[in-house]
Structure 1
């Protein structure tokens, strides 16, 4: 993992480091494993290539800043095309195609959104297209588990809520988990302090004075060493919400 942290970096033109809107994960098994490692809820949207409202969601809802912020902080998001037979879904000891998996949840049309806990337990589902403001409300209601507190969604719709997420610091169990996240989670970045600002792919080196110019809602892997301890303090102090720690071999 130390090699991952100490990669040579290219100097990037802008100091402000923000994430592009990533493509959605297209494999259930990959998304479910990320959710389990990161302790985040999982959203699966069943979609199809010729679905007008699926394309509308992809262009008008998914890229919006409010939606992306909530997804980054609270969810792992995957899109399963019903016509895609390349990947298999493994769920509760059974193997499915995407179509079979959709049928198992009673999906009758696309898009349909199915929400799971981080351990893969289904929570609820929402069929059909929702505009940005409604989808944001859905994400906030579920991510705060307000349904467990007796807050009905119809009542929640009337309330103002500035929730974006809670700060989470996770000790990753292994270097293998860290490598899996770097490879498969579009929101992951590997972060270290340095004397200049550099970037290469998902690897970022940042000067201490420029910490605030990072996207606070991305998911950062940092080393549990002396430099990492200082970096953790800076991230926590500046309101970064997703911090993952890994023991780095020297």
Structure 2
């Protein structure tokens, strides 16, 4: 991916941000919203890049905080969608990082890293942060904030098909 394409992707992605989120949920509601992980499995960071290489997929890292209403919204309205789940499973290996939990650790670049530090190293600057990487760990793009289903599907097709390598998001959208 060229530097110009990467810059375009990073400049274009924020345009897809949502309006303000719905009201915060109780802890009971939050646990129900985790049911999407059955249909869209979450991998450990230690195996995600090897799995992505073996299966010719990309790595999608979802950086969240349990209290975040934007995160709750994307989990309820986007990740529960069957078409999103199918596209995610076809093109991506998903990793979930609770950046609000210093006790959660991940293996990254040969070191054990606390989730908040990992989120910082990955460039997450808010919740949620949706990070696309290739199987070698090269950063493709980051979308800060929640995104609506149709926009998320577009981004997953754009990255998942590898179109980001040789065309702009705008050109891809015009097809």
Question: Same fold, TM exceeding 0.5?
Answer: yes
TM-score (norm 1): 0.51
What residue is the counterpart of 1:40 in the other structure?
57
What residue is the counterpart of 2:114 in the other structure?
97
More helix by share: 2
Count residues with an aligned counterpart.
Answer: 140
What residue is the counterpart of 1:157 in the other structure?
173
Q: List runs of 5+ in structure 2 lacking aligned partners.
A: 1-36
What residue is the counterpart of 1:81 in the other structure?
98
Deviation at 1:21, TM superposition (A): 4.3
1:110 to 127, 134, 155: 127
How is 1:50-65 mapped onto 2 (pairs within 5 angstroms)?
A: 50-65=67-82
Deviation at 1:146, TM superposition (A): 1.3
The CA RMSD over aligned residues, in Å, is 2.3
Deviation at 1:94, TM superposition (A): 3.4
User: SS at the partner of 1:157?
Assistant: helix
Aligned equivalents of 1:59, 1:24: Cα separation in 2:
16
Runs of 4+ off more than 4 Å: none
Aligned equivalents of 1:105, 1:37: Cα separation in 2:
23
Relative contact order (C-alpha < 8 Å, sep 6+): which is higher?
A: 2
1:22 to 21, 36, 39: 39
Aligned equivalents of 1:93, 1:29: Cα separation in 2:
9
Aligned equivalents of 2:65, 2:40: Cα separation in 1:
16
Radius of gyration: which is bigger?
A: 1
TM-score (norm 2): 0.70
Aligned equivalents of 1:48, 1:24: Cα separation in 2:
18
What residue is the counterpart of 1:132 in the other structure?
149
